[in-house]
Chain A
Amino acid sequence: MKLVGIAGSVADKSYNRILLKYMATHFGDLADIEMLDIKDVPLFNESDDQTESDAIQYLKRKIESADGVIIATPEHNHTTTASLKSVIEWLSYKIHPLDGKPIMIVGASYYDQGSSRAQLNLRQILEAPGVNAVVLPGNEFLLGEVKKAFDENDNLKDAGTVNFLQSTLQKFVKFVTVINTMKHPQDTGAENEDLGANGKISTTVEGVDMDAPDWVEQAAEKTHAASGNDYVKLDRGLLTVDQLNAFLNSMPLELTYADSNNQFIYYNKMAPAEKMLAARTPAQAGNPLSMVHPKNPRVIKHVKEVIHALRTGQVPEVSMPVPGNNADKYVVHYYRAMHDEQGNYMGVNEYVQDIMPTVKWYLAKTGQKLEGNPDATTSASVDANEPAADTTSSASVDEAAPTADVPEPKTPETDADSGASIND
């Protein structure tokens, strides 16, 4: 679990910052806590909108990609600090990253009050409709007389305090899980997966027929796509399109990108279709997934189930060996869910690989050999987590996709994988 911690102080020395640091270092087994700095955030002023400034965008990004937030508030004048309130005002003005976000409040103060009033006040602020955070109820952690609370290494001295803080954080971690589960949209079921890609996502290229054999060329023209020597900034590096192609096409993997709208938009054209383990043809790029799979209802159902399981996060990856694998060739199709920084589903990364050369190489290098297990059935090798995919349905690969313009496969055993498909 990923949490971010905000200390509500811009003072050079802040015991609330020390408290959060202590939590980050000592409770790493409960959650990964990253400290956020609010020092560069200007005082809120609605007449001088700084929402787009680096300091505020940084907080927005970090909070959005975190599962929850821990705020440590000092108490000034019976309330929380202006510097913290100012940050919350920025984060509830034009943008609302705290909306629905689980929050835990802690606080330290010089008084014996331990920031009690500031914490209550902060709850009230976080409940405001523009903020709309979900604050952990109860479980107040008040650290009074804070100057005496830490030793010279900034560790909490009192074991009881440490235990209480730990149990509070444990409850918060559960709370975060519960709240974030509530937020997930209702599961509409696998049957509603639209393999026809009739929907539209922000990257869908409109006005180009998905069926067109030159979809790539048309869509590239429409989007003024980078090509050739144009540079592309990547995470992490910078390549030209030519370099990127050379790189992807030399992968010892057949890669396919199906976006979250179920449109097949890319494969690494490393070889002609007939030389590939799972044949794809240039004309297929751009097709909806329904066009690159057999129309067999059993196959369609299975494809939908796999995509749905990936989209909803039921499984991170599904792997399927193709039928007809033997001692010399063991081809596996892997389907892996892709997500953006905020965790939104971006589509399926399908990669196909013959793992036998690797296995053989390993055996040769280490002087070992494979030993057969008479109890094992080869067809049972389908990922156990795979929802509703029985071993027979994984055999659906033996149905050639009617729309795929693929020559006869060379070996009957691998007849299997003709479609540019998610399913096979």
Chain B
Amino acid sequence: MNKFVAMVGTNAKVSTNRTLLQFMKQHFADQAEIELMEITNLPLFNKPENSPVPAPVLAMAKKIDAADGVIIATPEYDHAVPSSLMNALEWLSHRVHPFVDKPVMIVGASYGSLGSSRAQAHLRQILDSPELRARIMPSSEYLLGHSLDAFDDQGNLKDADKVAQLDGLFKDFQTFVTVSGHLNNAKDLNQKDTQNFDWNKL
């Protein structure tokens, strides 16, 4: 059974993106082991030249390293990914590089009708950068609009079509993780490249 880390893409105490990941954890419990990971309590990234990587960052990197893939749920603030998630990803690409070749599935929920579409496109662009080099599942989007009304009291998705769509995408993600495991010809080089990636040496 695959082990996935599910990143809550916000530091807000209440978020339907967290609800969505909690639903996935329980809904897919027979197919995969999903562990939620929060991004709160990280300091603001300031590109430190010498100081050690903060302990919470190391702990997150370790979890991602050990996982078969990562699911990220992102809200949308100002047509983009929230700064708290950007901040976490900056830390997770500075002297630690757990995302290299890591399969990633992007989902998102929003109060409005668009379901964080622009934030998801933004997140793809970020994860594609040379410092992160994640393997984002291609041609897939899970946009949950009107998320305040999407869940019942038990935290279950109410709309059967939306559940069916998520089921399909999650199966595809499992397959993508397997396929991704075979795409390993450049893996060592990618790892090395990223580890050697240093702003100061550019």
Contact = CB atoms under 8 A, between A and B. Distances in A.
27 contacts: A11-B47, A43-B11, A43-B84, A43-B87, A44-B82, A45-B12, A45-B84, A46-B12, A47-B12, A76-B93, A76-B131, A77-B93, A78-B128, A80-B86, A81-B45, A81-B86, A82-B45, A83-B44, A83-B83, A85-B81, A86-B44, A89-B77, A89-B83, A121-B125, A124-B79, A128-B80, A131-B78
B79 A12 contact: no
B1 interface: no
B128 A82 contact: no
Contacts of B40: 45
A88 B126 CA distance: 18
Contacts of A12: 46, 49
Contacts of A88: 78, 83
Interface in A76-99: 76-83, 85-86, 88-89, 92
Contacts of B83: 43-44, 82-83, 85-86, 88-89
Given A76-B90, A77-B129, A9 B12 contact: no
Given A47-B12, A77-B93, A77-B129, A121 B80 contact: yes
Contacts of A45: 11-12, 40, 84
A92 B78 contact: yes
A110 to B, nearest CB: 4
Contacts of B202: 110-111, 147
B89 interface: yes
Given A43-B84, A43-B87, A79-B122, A128 B79 contact: yes
Contact of A128 (B43, B46, B78, B125): B78
B90 A77 contact: yes
Interface in B1-44: 10-14, 40, 42-44
Nearest to B40: A45
Nearest to B79: A128
Contacts of B90: 76-77, 81-82
B46 A78 contact: no
Interface string A269-310: 000000000000000000000000000000000000000000
Given A47-B13, A77-B93, A82-B87, 14 more contacts: A9-B47, A11-B46, A13-B49, A44-B84, A76-B90, A79-B126, A81-B90, A82-B86, A85-B78, A121-B80, A121-B125, A124-B118, A128-B79, A130-B78
A266 B183 CA distance: 81
A360 interface: no
A78 B129 contact: yes
B11 A47 contact: yes
Contacts of A47: 11-14
Contacts of B10: 46
Interface string B179-202: 000000000000000000001001
B177 interface: no
Given A125-B78, A131-B78, A83 B13 contact: no
Interface in A40-78: 42-47, 76-78
Interface string A358-382: 0000000000000000000000000
A110 B199 contact: yes
A117 B125 contact: yes
